[in-house]
Copies of this chain bind each other. A is one copy, B any other.
Amino acid sequence: MASKLVAVVAGVGPGTGAAIARRFAAKYPIVLLARNPDNFKSLVSEINERGGKAIGISTDISSASSVQSAFGKIKEEFGNDVGLAAAVFNASGKFLKKPFLELTEEEYLSEYVVAGKGAFLFSQATLPLLLKSTERNPNHPPTLIFTGATASVKGSPQFSSFANGKFALRALSQSLAREFYPKGVHVAHAIIDGVIDIPKTKEWLKDAGPDAKINPDAIADSYWHLHTQPRSTFTQEIDIRPWVEKW
C-alpha cells in the first residue's frame, strides 16, 4: 500500500496560511503549524468536518527541538514513510517599523529569528520528506514554497529588521531551488506586495476602493498553481499585488 502523501503549512493564522491550508486540503491531508493553537483549532475542525483531514501542531518554528517534535508527531500520525506533497513556509515575525537607531538587538533580529532560523529549520525538516515524494506524485512534483513580501526585494526606511529577514529568506529560496530542482523538488518564492485582506487589516485602505487588498484565497490559488507545474516548467518566483498598488 502506498504511503501517505501530506502537505504542511507553517504560519497559520486567520489569513493567507488558512487559505493555503484549505486549498491544499482539497487534495491532501494537511498539517498546520503555529505557535498558538488558537490559530489553527477552528480551521482543523472546519477541514475535518468537511471531509478533509487536518491536524494542528503547536510549534515554535524557530526552535530546533520544537520543529523536531512536530515532525515526530507527523510521523506518528501518518507513518514513518510519510512523504510530503507540499510544504509552505508562511511564517513571519513582527512587522516592525522603527527608526534604526531606536531598535534593540532583539527587535532587529525578530524577523530573522523566523525568516532566517525558522525557515532553515522548516526546510531541513521538510526537504527529506519532499525528496521521498518525487516518484509518487510525478504530475505534481513536491513543492516547497516561501512567502515573501515587498521587503524581500526592497529595503525601505525604518524597515531594516523586516527587510533583513525577508531578503535572507529569498536567498534561501534561491539556493534551495538551485540545489533541489535537479533532485525533483520545486522550490518557489512569492513576493506579496500589498496589504492582505484579513481580519487584522479590516480598517486599512478603506478609501482605496474595491479589491484594494490582496485576496488570501487567490494567493492560495497561485500557490496551488505552482504546485501543479511539471518539473520541465518550474516557476521560481512570482510577485502578487493588487491592481491599485503603487510600485
Contacts and interface: CB of A to CB of B under 8 A. Distances in A.
| Residue of A121, A242, A244 with most partner-chain B CB within 10 A | A242
Interface in A164-180: 164-168, 170-180
7 contacts: A116-B164, A154-B174, A155-B178, A158-B175, A221-B229, A233-B240, A235-B239
Given A165-B168, A233-B215, A160 B184 contact: no
Given A100-B127, A175-B159, A232 B247 contact: no
Interface in A193-241: 197, 211-215, 218-219, 221-222, 225, 228-241
A64 interface: yes
Contacts of A172: 155, 160, 163-164
A213 B238 CA distance: 21
A71 B178 CA distance: 41
A247 B178 contact: yes
A216 B160 CA distance: 29
A210 B81 CA distance: 27
A124 interface: yes
A180 B197 CA distance: 22
